[in-house]
Every structure is written in structure tokens, then in C-alpha cells.
Chains A and B, each alone.
Chain A
């Protein structure tokens, strides 16, 4: 793509009508003019704001650049200019929600996390038992434990199944009926990738409720959530693992066979070992993906205020459902200045925005977990992948 950057000296030498490329300075100047113009227009209209100037300035820049380039360079190059600007604009549009979201979560959530109520960072070490009304206290310890437990169990279910399915697809589905089965499995994995998360939740619910007595239909427990999540996690694990296993050179397998190594040992010692970095990356990303899933957990694990370590008994709190619940609670009502915890008798200040604050802080907690997983995955693939594969 570097072919279009012709030296400016040649552009100077040719006649003005043949001039193809405007110097970059003109474009920058045009952008500045557009921004100033936008600021002036908005100031006259009385709605001056940074966002407004940027948006109107961008649109003005599109128009100005087209007109100017049309006069100086001709129709085709003008279209090219506008297209380049539009493409960059599209990227900026996509960056806007990402940056705005991260900013809001870090600022609003961070404020609540470090706030001294009752002590700094108590948000990460306390749960919600006895927190009522607008009490400016409480935390996500129970929800974090729930999220980690449920995701752990989902991983315990999904990783072996996903990995062995990938091994089957790569190592065993080569001939005859196994090939046919492999094609079927590939198709079904595609189908599973597209299952809406709420349907996975309904499945987890329906599966367990079918075996429950009729009077116990409101039963919810952690393992139901794990089963629902693994329905979403298995296809991700299979796809990434399959891709990684296929990258292992056939020569390595053949060398092992030639030495008389049995097939299963070849898979364990040669194939899996070669691909281990990629496999770990894929699995970590799959975990990062399901750890933020909300809809299945809404249906299957419910919500509690305290810590529940037992996956097979009773409801559990999780970070995503906690965020949703606090958000739904909306503004609290403060009748008095202070709220008393009925369980341990502690007294907290009352805050109208306490629920929303907790939602932001929990969102920050969740984002930190997800981002750590993503970074870990990147680091693994960066440092441990075989040098030839990159």
C-alpha cells in the first residue's frame, strides 16, 4: 500500500492540472479549519461542547476535503480522500464506546472500590448480608467467589470434553465412519457456537428441573449454572484447540510413529506438548468469555446475599447477576441519615446512589478479571508458543 506515497518533489515539478497528491500539510490544515469552523458554528448556536465540535468537525472535514481535493486533484482522488477519512472515522466510532465504557467503569467503579465505607477496599472483602436500604456498604466477595466457583466447574466440564473432541477431530476422524462422525461433530460445534446464552440457561434449567420433584421447581444451584455455561464454553474450546492441534506438523507425529511410540503417547507427548501454549491461550480466552455471561446465570443460580461455597446446594451470587440486580434496584430511598445492619448491628451512612455505585464497582471487578485473563492468554501465547509457529 506504500506505492501511493509519491515524492512531493515530482508533484511540484508537474503542471498544476496533472498534480496528483496534495501535501499532507494541506490535509492537516483542512482538518484544523474544519474543527475551528465547527467550533464557531456551535458557539453561534450556543451548544458548544467537545463532542459536538469533534463530530461536526469530522463531517465538515469530509465535505471540505472532498471539495478541496475535487478542485485540486480531480474526482477520483477526491473520492479516495473521502473514503480514507470515512474508514478512519469508522475506526474512531468503534473506539469511542470502548474508551468511554472503560473510562466510566474505572472512574465510577474505582471511586466506590477505594471509598472508605467502612474501610478502603472493603468492597472486595465483604458481602451483602444484612445490607439493606441505602446502606453505603456491602461488597462483592460472595459474588466473586460464586463467579470463580461456577466458572471453575464449567471449565472442569468443558475443557476435557472440548479437548478430547478436538483430539478426535484432528487425530481420529480420518477415515470411514469416524470421518462422517467428525463432519457431524464439526457441524454441531458450529450450531453450538450460535446458541443464544439465554437458551443455554433455559437448557440448564430444564435439564435439572426435569429430574426434580414437582414441588421443588424453584430449586436453583451453582452446578446448574456451570452446566449452562459449559454449553457455551465447549464450542469455543473445541474450535481453538482444533485449530492449534492442526498446526502441529505431521512430521512430528510420523517421527514418533516411526520410533514405535503408540498413538496415545504420541498425542500426549508430542502433539499436546507442542501445542500446549496455543491450547492454554485458547482455554484462557474461553474462560474469559464465559466468566462474563449473565443470562444463563440469571436463570440457573439466582441470587443470595452471603457466601455459598456449595455448588450442589442453594443459590449463588455471581458478579454479572450482581451487577444486573444492583442496576435494577435503582436509586435507594434514604429516610434516615444512617442505616443499621440488622445482623451485626453496624451502622452505615445512607446513600441514594449506593446500588448504582455497587453496580459500577462490581463491573470494574468483573472487567479486571476478564482483562487479566485476556492478558494472561496473550502472554502465554507470546512467551511459550513454539518459535516456528509464529
Chain B
């Protein structure tokens, strides 16, 4: 009974956030447009020659994905904290870590998953061969999950800080670097036709690690941020 109650609660949170997102769909697609724009900047800044771009394409896609996920973090908890919903959650006696985990999962569905789906398009534009698509999407799927988790901790820490978005970037980016390293490396290996299982396994391990510890850190941080 208890577990089904919690399951229902989590489902409720996810459905609610998804519904809110559908209503404010413009805010949901903004990070995606940002992602596309950043990848456009590199050909303009470096060179339009596909041969050159192909070499750095994994890095470009990954950096762009990282920044887009960072941009989306701003709105992860802020509305709920501002309208008092979060305070109710903290006081409700329900496990806060689970509720926040549900929010992060929704957030990933709305920002991480679209990035994954968009990535072949962007990759092709940068000269990636079709054979790399599965690896690219797999790394992004695993990696953006980790990014959402770490970002969630950062967002919970900075949500009470006024103008916290720069601070958020400062806190989260150094911690996210391993994800970037393994993600970009796996795509790079795939483009050279080498086996990618190593970095992919590491990415999966990171995701499990962050997903198991992240919610508790998030809940602790949120308690600090919400209580006045």
C-alpha cells in the first residue's frame, strides 16, 4: 500500500509537470533552439569545411548539449519555490528526495530526450557519418541523465539565491566534466570505427552513481533553500 502510494505520488508529479510544460511549450523549446544555435556558431567561427568540422563534431555536439541542459536548469525548481509548492512538499512528510527525483526525470524527458532525438540532425550537419548515430544518441541519452542529476543538485542549492544562474554554472560545470569527457570520447571513437563499449559503460556507471546519490543531496539542498 505504502509503495503504491508513493508510486502514485511520483506519477502525479510527473503528469503535473508534463501538463505544465505542454501549456508553456515555448519555454520548453527554448533550450533546444539554443542547442541548435550554438552548433551553428562553430562552423561560422572555425571554418565551413566539413572535413575540419567532422573532426571536432563530437566535442561541439557535447558542449552544446551541456550548455543547453544548463540553461534549462534555471526553471527546474524556481517556479515551484516561488509559488510555495515546494514548501508544501518539504512540510508534507513525503520523501522529498523521491519527489525531486520525479521532477528531475520529467525535466530530462522535456530537455534531455529532445536533445537526444535532435542530435543526429545536428551531427549530420557537422559532417558525422550515419554510422555514428546510435553511439551519439546512446551517449547523449546516458550523459544528459547524469547532467540532469548533477544540475538538479546545483539548482536546488542556488534556487534561493537571487540571480543564481551564473553561480549555478560555476558550481555545476566543473562537476559535469567527466560526463563530457566520456561522452565526447565515445563519439570520437565511434567515428574512427573503434569499439565504444568502454566509455559507454563508464557513462552508464556515472548515471547510476549520480541517480542513486543525487536525490538525497538534492533533498538536503532543497531543505536549506526553502526554509527561511
Instruction: Decide if A and B are genuine partners.
Output: no
- Which A positions have Cβ atoms within 8 angstroms of B? none
- Which B positions have Cβ atoms within 8 angstroms of A? none
